[in-house]
Amino acid sequence: MLESIALVILGVGVLCYLYLWGKGSLKQLPPGPKPLPIVGNLRDLPPGGTPEYQHWLKFKDIYGPISAIDILGQKIIILHDRQATQDLLVKSSTRTSGRPYMRFADICGFASLLNLQQYDGTFRRHRKLVHQQFGTKAMAARYRDNIELESQRFLLRVLDDPANLVQHIKTEASAIILRITYGYSISPGKTDPLVHLIERTMDVFAAATVLLGWPVDIFPILQHLPEGVPGTSFKKQGREWGKLLETTKDVPYAFVQNKMASGTHERSFVSSLLEQESTATDETKNEHWEDDIKKTALVMYGGGADTTASAIHSFILAMILFPEVQRKAQAEIESVIGSDRLPGFGDRERLPYVNGVVKESFRWLHVAPMGVAHRIDEDIAYGGYHIPKGAYLLPSIWWFLHDPETYADPSAFEPARYLA
């Protein structure tokens, strides 16, 4: 009986989709491959093993700098046009700052985190907390000592055990973010329990947020079917992962609270916000403050650890592939700093070539080549095209950083670009 009801509901959903798909296809979307009924351009998604930015780059060559695909009714606009990206994501940000709604991620609780939140009051509260602690160079500079300390520990690990470089990079990234966020120092020489907990949650987050990766994201009606009906196993999985998320929010937050109570805490993102909240009046106190702090702190790790590790990998790869750049950078350090100490943040202005190496590392192999998907909150007419409400915008950051009209010989690693 339940299976029959489910089939009827799915059948009605398919008919509604066909009606809406046909209706929407009459409007002038950006060019792209012709979609099939129901599945749309499912076969045009990046094949396994192909970097996403490389796949979409072919669309630019075939369809132009603005192209579109339809995946099961979801419109996706791929942007290889710098000006269009500026116009849509910056100048029209009040209409394009939404995030793709991922139903399964919401069931798990992940949709309440800053990197998946819609552009609403909660999003603005969370972003305000981050801006309060890192919104200016002076505020961010308060955490430089933490970064330098963990960097020195990283170098010692590499010196002691160079064969495990990849793990040392991962440990270094985790150590920096946890120290800045919670004032937490990881356990040396062994698997740290907090790192293990958060890494497990980040793995779960990655699995839960695959775009259209869960049946309920494709067929939302499944959420309303009784558990036990075929296709509803995601409900149990969502509950389990939701419990893991709650634990991961609470454990490091409680660590900071306990340290503050004993007067042994380090300055951190969380401790600074807790001190600030303790002086708030009834008129200024935010009733959601505790949950807001927990969630923004967790996002700090999710958004910082992987990107930091990726950036370090890019730098090391560049130094291996371009040894002449490494020699020039080393010569500048020895000339300016000498050999009796390590360079620090205070030396940056005196190391222009080294600064160029860092900037070129970010450009040459960017950590997020397709940026972050944005969701359109209302219909937009742009460049003669109709971009419908609910469409996703994918900006090709990789192309913007390798456009030969902006960067001469973009495939070359050339720090001197930034010395003019």
pLDDT digits (tens, 9 = 90+) for 249-300: 999 999 999 999 999 999 999 999 999 888 876 666 777 899 999 999 999 8
Domain that holds residue 334: 1-100+324-420
230-261: b (≥16 Cβ within 10 Å) or e: eebebbebbeebbebbeebbeebbebbeebbe
Q: Do 376 and 103 touch, CB atoms closer than 8 A?
A: no
Q: Do residues 152 and 217 share a domain? A: yes
3-state class percentages of the chain: helix first, strand second, coil last, to nearest 5 = 60, 5, 30
The encoded tokens of residue 276 equal: 């600030």
393 sits in which H/E element: strand 392-395
pLDDT at 300: 87
In sequence order, which ranges of 135-265 are alpha helices (DSSP H)? Answer: 137-140, 144-160, 165-182, 193-208, 215-218, 234-262
Per-residue pLDDT for 19 more than 50?
A: no
Tell me how far CA of residue 37 lies from CA of 15, 18, 34, 44, 389, in angstroms.
11, 7, 10, 14, 20
Q: Percent of the chain, pLDDT > 90?
A: 66
Task: Please classify residue 209 by burial: count the beta carbons closer than 10 Å to its beta carbon, then call 0-12 exposed, 13-18 middle and 19+ buried.
Answer: buried
pLDDT of residue 13: 53
Same domain (yes/no): 38, 156 = no
**CATH number of the domain where residue 126 is located:** 1.10.630.10
Q: Which residues have C-beta within 8 Å of that of residue 99, sequence separation ≥ 6?
A: 115, 116, 117, 118, 372, 373, 374, 375
- Residue 27 sits at φ, ψ, to 5 deg, of -85, 155
- 341 and 232 in a common domain: no
pLDDT of residue 10: 52
Average pLDDT for the chain? 89
User: 141 by DSSP, 3-state: which?
Assistant: helix
Asked whether residue 109 carries a pLDDT value surpassing 70, the answer given is: yes
Same domain, 82 and 118: no
* Residue 393 CB neighbour total at 10 angstroms: 25
* Lowest-pLDDT range of 17-21, 86-90, 182-186: 17-21
User: Is it the case that residue 152 has pLDDT exceeding 90?
Assistant: yes
Question: How far is it, in rounded angstroms, from Cα 401 to Cα 241?
Answer: 37
On whether both 69 and 156 belong to a single domain, the answer is no
Both 295 and 346 in a single domain?
Answer: no
User: Which pTM was predicted?
Assistant: 0.83
Domain boundary among 295, 321, 347: 321
Structure tokens at 260: 């503050």
Give the CB-side neighbour count of residue 10, counting CA atoms within 13 A.
17
Residues 160, 292, single domain; the answer is yes
Per-residue pLDDT averaged across 308-326, rounded? 95
Tokens of 81: 């046009």
Residues 364 and 223 occupy one common structural domain: no
- Contact between 217 and 102 (Cβ < 8 Å): yes
- The whole-number pLDDT of residue 30 equals 97
299 and 229 in a common domain: yes
Q: Same domain for 347 and 394?
A: yes
**Whether residue 196 sits in one domain with residue 219:** yes
Picking from 300, 321, 342, the residue at the C-terminal end of a domain is 321
- The residue from 321, 337, 356 where one domain ends is 321
Least confident piece of the model among 10-24, 106-120, 226-240, 389-403: 10-24
Domain count within the chain? 2
Which residues are CB-contacts of 140 (< 8 A; sequence separation ≥ 6)? 134
Whether 9 shows a pLDDT value over 60: the answer reads: no
pLDDT in tens, 160-185: 999 999 999 999 999 999 999 999 99
In this predicted structure, which of 83-92, 139-148, 397-406 has the lowest mean pLDDT? 139-148
209 and 192, same structural domain?
Answer: yes
φ, ψ for residue 78, nearest 5 deg? -100, 125
Summarize the confidence of residues 42-57 as an average pLDDT: 91
pLDDT, mean of residues 186-200: 86
